A and B are shown apart, each in its own frame.
Chain A
Amino acid sequence: MGAEIWQALGLTFQLASITTLLLLLCGLPLAHFLNSLPNRFGVVLETIVALPIVLPPTVLGFYLLVIFAPQNFFGALWQRLFGQQLAFSFPGLVLGSMLYSLPFAIQPFQSALRGIPRFLIEAAVLEANPIQVFWHVRLPLALRGIVVGATLAFAHTIGEFGVVMMIGGSIPGITKVASVALYNEVQKPNYAVANQYAVILLASSFCLLFAVVLLQRHSRWFDL
């Protein structure tokens, strides 16, 4: 296989890894926060967080492209802070992917955190402050759901196409991820190379989902 294929695949997995890592960092506190909200606000916020599941990626891509533009507030702010524009950049893709995969991480996080028996938390609260309780009680007890959420977010980012198509600009090594490279090969048309991408994407997606299903069926693996 050519160097181009490895570059695109490497970029895809790099994007998925960084997105997943950041979703773990921001997603866990967010999930905890959403769980703690009273119903009235919680319902609205949870709906917003879940939107990327049903939203056409073109909606997200369109708004991001407008928001990223250097003459608009957010685009200008980013450029001033980091000296680089967001559209057609790797950080731009990371930001887009985080939004795109957010619900796939948050929802398993939320139900895992919610599933912790109340008496355990109540007992822990007597001994420790809320941050300690979060790190030493909630996180370990929710580990299975966290792993499921992270794996789903990773897999979903690999499957991203529409958003990248709209804000990526197909730059080799920077924004030309495997799904976009595959599309380009089909257009050329170069079915042999397209097939190489497709087989690898199919196999990796299968393996990731297989892991998720395994985790969900073997609930005792993460029992402490």
Chain B
Amino acid sequence: MVWPACLLPLFFAVETVPATRAETVTIAAAADLTYCIEDLNRSYQESHPDTELKLSTGSSGNFSTQIQNGAPFDVFLSADIQYPKNLTSGGFVDPSTLTVYAVGRIVLWTTKPDTVNLDRGIDVLRDRAAVKKIAIANPEHAPYGRAAKSILENSGIWAEVQDRIVQGENIAQTAQFAQTGNVDAGFVALSLLLSPNLKHIGRYIEMDPKLYPKLEQAMVLTTAGSKRPVVRAYFQFLQSPAARAIFNQYGFTLPAPNG
């Protein structure tokens, strides 16, 4: 079989892709890291200006599904540990890289502190006149949504508020529902409220960690990513004292440092 000459450039193109990709790290980060990861990446670029960082933020469940279907991510920072753990069984990620990088904290946030009196604690949600709609992330696939649902259940008010619940696709959208004033209160990640964009907007109270399962957030390298030194270098940075300081600044509790 004779290959037409016009197809030749295609082969060259395919071959040159890895060469340009060598300096690129493609990152999938959970929505609660929306602002935090930008700071982390900025800090990394200062010492590694030649590495190109490509960032996607969104729901952990969505990224997990995409990685199972061959999405070209190198690093996956999930908002829980279950999604990256599940990926290890399918050979999509390198199991030896599974690392808890932070523990998330969830808060009840309102942009209408005059009508929604957070001094009453979570009980304020029972007030139907003041709180007509409550935003949580989708508990079916968003870790912060699951946490919010447990908080409401463990406080014994789930049945009372259920008909006023609005679900965000991920925790960033949940925060946006509250920010636009379309809901009166929302359960959101503390990390989002500590960002420059949302700082000083409204009021929040932190939820008692005893009310919800620990939001252990783990990261993992994909099978393709773990073989590349640039990805490894970025991954090391995420566990460095400099990165831990940034996670800390965004309200995350930190796991014991790895040796």
Contacts and interface: CB of A to CB of B under 8 A. Distances in A.
A104 B169 CA distance: 28
Interface in A168-224: 169-171, 183-184, 186-189
Given A187-B62, A189-B68, A169 B135 contact: yes
Nearest to B63: A187
A87 interface: yes
Interface residues of B, number: 22
B168 interface: yes
Contacts of A187: 59, 61-62, 65, 138, 140-141
B181 interface: yes
A188 B141 contact: yes
B57 to A, nearest CB: 15
A69 B176 CA distance: 12
A169 B167 contact: yes
A189 B61 CA distance: 8
A16 B182 CA distance: 24
A70 interface: yes
Which of A68, A69, A165 has the most CB atoms of chain B within a 10 A radius of its CB?
A69
A66 B61 CA distance: 27
B182 A87 contact: yes
Contacts of B168: 169
Interface in A17-63: none
A85 B59 contact: no
B177 interface: yes
Contacts of B166: 88, 169-171
Contacts of B138: 170, 184, 187
Contacts of A87: 133, 177, 180, 182
B133 A188 contact: no
User: At the interface, is chain A mostly helix, strand, loop or mixed?
Assistant: loop
A65 interface: yes
A211 B169 CA distance: 35
Contacts of A66: 180
A170 B62 CA distance: 16
A169 B59 CA distance: 15
A70 B65 contact: no
A188 B83 CA distance: 10
B181 A69 contact: yes
B61 A88 contact: no
B45 to A, nearest CB: 29
A129 interface: no
Interface in B163-190: 165-169, 177, 180-183
Given A170-B167, A187-B140, A85 B65 contact: no
Contacts of B183: 88
A72 B180 CA distance: 10
B132 interface: yes
Contacts of B182: 65, 68-70, 85, 87-88
B177 A188 contact: no
Contacts of A69: 180-182
Interface in A64-87: 65-66, 68-72, 85, 87
B64 interface: yes
A57 to B, nearest CB: 14
Q: Which 4 A-B pairs have the closest CB atoms?
A: A169-B166, A87-B182, A187-B61, A170-B167
Interface of A: 65-66, 68-72, 85, 87-88, 165, 169-171, 183-184, 186-189
10 contacts: A69-B180, A70-B182, A87-B177, A169-B135, A169-B177, A171-B167, A187-B59, A187-B61, A188-B140, A189-B68
Given A187-B65, A188-B140, 6 more contacts: A65-B182, A70-B182, A88-B177, A165-B169, A171-B167, A189-B68
